[in-house]
Structure 1
Amino acid sequence: MAGRFNGGDLRSILDHQLFHDGPATASRAGEEHSLQPGTGGWSGFGRRPPS
């Protein structure tokens, strides 16, 4: 939809990964390596500032 790839590009990428990089193993990011910033920034949400 965004026009970033042409018709055969996805197939080409997948073929390259399969034949040149070898099969990939599944991996999951743990809590110690997350890119999420956490929820600490929301701790004051909804509170009125001191007057």
Structure 2
Amino acid sequence: MDKLTFGLTMMVVGIGGTFLTLAILIWSIQILKKIFPLSAEDGSKSNRG
């Protein structure tokens, strides 16, 4: 394996790992939002208009 092939392989693995980590974070945040929904206590936060 020459240096170019090794470099490209490491780049692809690095990008894939980064996107996989971001996807896991997004999924875990969405699950936490479903478990613990945001509720406005006096209703003023839900009226943004």
Scaled by the length of structure 1, the TM-score of the pair is 0.31
Greater fraction of residues in helix: 2
Largest Rg, 1 or 2: 1
Scaled by the length of structure 2, the TM-score of the pair is 0.32
